[in-house]
């Protein structure tokens, strides 16, 4: 039976003289109750760090066990078996490095100390991914000691292998039952025929961690001569003479692990081009170019089983993507493990990795950019908020229940959207063929989206299309939100699993003259939808506004602040909130503000671009402060939160606050337009019928989900710079929503 394991991203890597610690970044350092959260998922084992850099950072035998003592004791109380790691993408404390001749012996002494401190622990991963760490540190220069030298790479790898052998000997001297669960990133390299030699080399090198530990790198080995040429023959012989085969091969396979090498470098952007000493080639993710698609996780598991015949485990399963894609990848890995197990392959477990998410892996942990990928828990909330991944893990552990409807389609790696470059037919090789994805049994139900003609409805539909979420975008003719019977018929006929209300009145000033119409569209319609969803136990999402507030505070508004609208539009949204929350069920009310988008020609940012590009003066309010919201960011977060099952009131706006005039200036700078054409003026000069709050930026008590306003403006500028914005008939005035 396949077990469910877990682990939080725990890397401690060194860049220059700075140590980056993911346990600190995730907040787990100060949150011991995370362990209870992990146990509640139904895990049977947990990969857990007792990292050298954290325990003995100053001198080799100056240990601080206090943090680890408490955590491991709690794991023991919870009945959650730890798989202890001692080095995770690190080079050791500051007093050593991967190239230090004394590294193996010092590391083994540390391993002995850990084993003596915790003699009851039986599962060990002394060094995570030795080959990958050696590549990133000594061949590619990303991590300390930042070398790009093949000899240094082999030295770093052999140091780690010897350290693992010595460490396991010391650990087993304390606990003879200790098991070695040796992890390594495993992919398959494909390529065009002219780069066949490099492809063969890469496909041989990927096995070196396990080949070395198993004593296979003898003179007959494909790479023995290459390593020997660097003066390392004696070390190879010594390693081969004391084989330490893993008890379990830990396969870490990501969607980027399979690579494709192409000699036609001109077909790829400059950042994808590289090469070896005699041939230039592009190196890209195979899933983005190869046809047929690469063998993926199932392929490399079958290869590893055929090569070694040792028990296997998927020791990292994570996909940094939208929520339903994260769940799809997890479930696919689980299905693969169970399928292979039924066919006689000894697959022991699948490990949900990065339970608390991960930080800045997009830069390979070389820069602190605040880029966060969510895991089973979202640590931006306090306490961490369980996501749809957590729900899926509980479902897998229980072996019962239905998957979330939004996750039932194929992942992006199974759809045509996977192809980023002109498809290339990969040459035949030994990799197993990729098993085709099959539609799961049962109906794939849609999410129902109201507001077919509006900016938000269109954006939500577009996002669902990209994400492979079945949806139905309704017009008033299909679903009249002011008619409960129409709502009921549409919900029942569509078999929708949830509803997002993007319909309603949006004209702020016209609402002053037609308060009844505005309330009917915004408050009555939202209330009707909420009641219908509550009666059917369906999740319901609707949107509110910063205009529910009067702007008389001296701080940004948060979810618990009471509405106090100044105008009819704001009052209609406040009443909508009241009705939706009173309906019961599973409602999510999203307050947001000041939309801007590259796909909508009527928003303020598009107006700024057109006006300044034409060389005209633009007037914008200097005394009205808002939190502009980038629509693509908003819809991405909305769908994630809906899939997670989030409820209640939530503020979604890009982090930051600006006056409309300052917003225009920032847009001008990002778009490289003449900022001198922006003229700050009082908001009263526009003569709007509806009063606006002077200060209504949105903040949150529930965790900042959307990126910064600076990032949003940058993304907007990149989009319109490439594609432009449609020119509408009759642009709205600056500062008008």
Give the pLDDT of residue 736: 33
Stretch (H or E) spanning 5: strand 3-7
Average pLDDT estimate for 256-263: 97
Give the pLDDT of residue 731: 36
Region at 353 (left for phi over 0; alpha for psi -120 to 50; beta for the rest): beta
Query: Does residue 301 register a pLDDT over 90?
Result: yes
Which pLDDT tens digit goes with each residue over 626-659? 999 999 999 999 999 999 999 999 999 999 999 9
Query: Does residue 733 register a pLDDT over 90?
Result: no
Query: Does residue 39 register a pLDDT over 80?
Result: yes
Give the pLDDT of residue 442: 66
d(CA 661, CA 677): 11
d(CA 449, CA 266): 43
The strand pair at 385-386 and 377-378 is best described as antiparallel
Structure tokens at 338: 């169970």
Band the pLDDT of 737: cuts 50, 70, 90.
Answer: very low
d(CA 673, CA 687): 28
Cα angle: 657, vertex 463, 292; to 5 degrees? 130
Question: For the packed helices 296-308 and 323-342, what is the interaxial angle rounded to 10 degrees?
Answer: 30
Query: Does residue 189 register a pLDDT over 50?
Result: yes
Domain 447-723 has CATH 2.60.40.10: no
Which pLDDT tens digit goes with each residue over 548-601? 999 999 999 999 999 999 999 999 999 999 999 999 999 999 999 999 999 989
Q: Which residues contact 73 (CB under 8 A, 6 or more apart)?
A: none
Whether omega before 145 lies within 30 degrees of 0, making that bond cis, reads: yes
β-pair partners for 261: 191, 283
Give the pLDDT of residue 476: 87
d(CA 722, CA 599): 12
What is the model's pTM? Answer: 0.95
Average pLDDT estimate for 263-286: 95
Output the average pLDDT for the chain.
Answer: 95
Query: Does residue 692 register a pLDDT over 70?
Result: yes
Query: Does residue 439 register a pLDDT over 90?
Result: no
β-pair partners for 649: 589
Give the pLDDT of residue 299: 98
CA distances in angstroms from 354 to 10, 109, 377, 437, 626, listed in the order given: 8, 29, 9, 25, 35
Query: Does residue 440 register a pLDDT over 70?
Result: no
Domain boundaries along the sequence of the chain: 3-425, 447-723
Query: Does residue 721 register a pLDDT over 90?
Result: no
Structure tokens at 154: 């082999």
Please give the span between the terminal C-alpha atoms of the chain, in angstroms, as a whole number. Answer: 57
CA dihedral 140, 142, 144, 147 (to 10 degrees): 30
CATH of domain 3-425: 3.20.20.80
Give the pLDDT of residue 163: 99
β-pair partners for 14: 19
Q: Point out the least confidently predicted range of 110-124, 209-223, 710-724.
A: 710-724
């Amino acid at each position: 039976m396949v077990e469910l394991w877990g682990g939080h991203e725990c890397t401690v890597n060194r860049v220059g003289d700075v140590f980056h610690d993911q346990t600190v970044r995730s907040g787990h350092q100060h949150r011991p109750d995370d362990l209870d959260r992990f146990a509640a998922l139904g895990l049977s084992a947990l990969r857990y760090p007792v990292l050298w850099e954290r325990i003995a950072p100053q001198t080799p035998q100056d240990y601080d066990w206090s943090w680890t003592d408490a955590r491991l004791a709690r794991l023991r109380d919870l009945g959650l078996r730890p798989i202890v790691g001692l080095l995770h993408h690190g080079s050791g404390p500051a007093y050593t490095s991967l190239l230090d001749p004394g590294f193996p012996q010092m590391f083994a002494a540390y391993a002995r100390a850990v084993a003596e401190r915790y003699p009851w622990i039986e599962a060990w991963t002394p060094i995570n991914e030795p080959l990958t760490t050696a590549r990133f540190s000594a061949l590619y220069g990303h991590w300390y000691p930042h070398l790009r030298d093949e000899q240094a790479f082999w030295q770093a790898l052999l140091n780690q292998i010897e350290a693992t052998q010595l460490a396991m000997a010391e650990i087993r001297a304390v606990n003879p039952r200790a098991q070695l669960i040796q992890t390594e990133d495993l992919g398959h390299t494909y390529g065009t025929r002219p780069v066949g030699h490099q492809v063969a080399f890469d496909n041989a090198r990927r096995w070196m961690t396990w080949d070395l530990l198993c004593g296979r790198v003898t003179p007959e080995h494909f790479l023995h001569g290459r390593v020997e040429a660097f003066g390392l023959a004696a070390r190879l012989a010594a390693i081969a003479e004391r084989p330490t085969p893993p008890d379990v091969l830990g396969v870490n396979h990501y969607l980027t692990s399979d690579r494709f090498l192409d000699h036609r470098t001109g077909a790829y952007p400059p950042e994808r081009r590289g090469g070896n000493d005699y041939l230039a080639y592009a190196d890209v993710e195979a899933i983005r170019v190869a046809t047929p698609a690469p063998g993926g996780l199932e392929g490399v598991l079958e290869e590893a089983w055929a090569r070694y015949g040792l028990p296997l485990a998927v020791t990292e399963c994570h996909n940094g993507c939208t929520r339903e894609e994260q769940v799809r990848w997890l479930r696919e890995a689980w299905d693969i493990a169970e399928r292979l197990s039924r066919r006689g392959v000894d697959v022991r477990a699948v490990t949900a990795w990065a339970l608390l998410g991960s930080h800045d892996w997009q830069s390979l942990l070389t820069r602190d950019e605040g880029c966060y990928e969510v895991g089973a828990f979202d640590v931006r909330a306090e306490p961490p908020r369980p996501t749809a991944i957590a729900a899926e893990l509980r479902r897998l552990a229980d072996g019962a229940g239905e998957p979330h409807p939004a996750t039932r389609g194929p992942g992006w790696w199974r759809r045509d959207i996977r192809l980023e470059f002109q498809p290339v037919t990969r040459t035949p090789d030994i990799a197993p063929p990729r098993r085709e994805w099959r539609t799961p049994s049962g109906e794939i139900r849609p999410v129902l989206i109201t507001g077919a003609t509006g900016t938000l409805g269109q954006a939500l539909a577009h996002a669902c299309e990209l994400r492979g979420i079945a949806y139905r975008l309704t017009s008033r003719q299909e679903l009249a939100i002011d008619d409960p019977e129409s709502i009921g018929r549409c919900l029942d006929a569509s078999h929708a699993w949830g509803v997002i209300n993007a319909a309603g009145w949006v004209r702020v000033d016209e609402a002053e003259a037609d308060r009844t119409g505005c309330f009917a569209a915004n408050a009555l319609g939202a209330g009707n939808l909420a009641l219908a969803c509550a009666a059917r136990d369906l999740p319901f999402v609707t949107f509110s506004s910063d205009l529910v507030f009067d702007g008389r505070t001296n701080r940004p508004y948060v979810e618990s602040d009471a509405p106090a609208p100044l105008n009819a539009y704001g009052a209609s949204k406040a009443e909508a909130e009241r009705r939706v929350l009173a309906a019961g069920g599973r409602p999510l009310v999203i307050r947001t503000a000041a939309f801007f988008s590259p796909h909508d020609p009527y928003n303020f940012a598009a107006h700024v671009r057109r006006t300044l590009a034409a060389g005209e003066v633009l007037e914008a309010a200097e005394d009205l402060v808002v939190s502009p919201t980038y629509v693509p960011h908003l819809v991405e977060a909305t769908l994630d939160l809906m899939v997670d099952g989030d409820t209640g009131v939530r503020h979604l706006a890009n982090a930051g606050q600006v006056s409309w005039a300052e917003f225009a200036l920032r847009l001008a700078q990002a778009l490289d337009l003449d900022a001198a054409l922006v003229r700050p003026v009082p908001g009263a000069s526009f003569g709007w019928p509806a009063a606006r709050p002077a200060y209504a930026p949105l903040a949150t008590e529930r965790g900042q989900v959307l990126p910064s306003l600076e990032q949003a403006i940058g993304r907007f500028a990149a989009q319109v710079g490439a594609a432009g914005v449609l020119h509408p008939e009759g642009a709205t005035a600056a500062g008008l929503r």
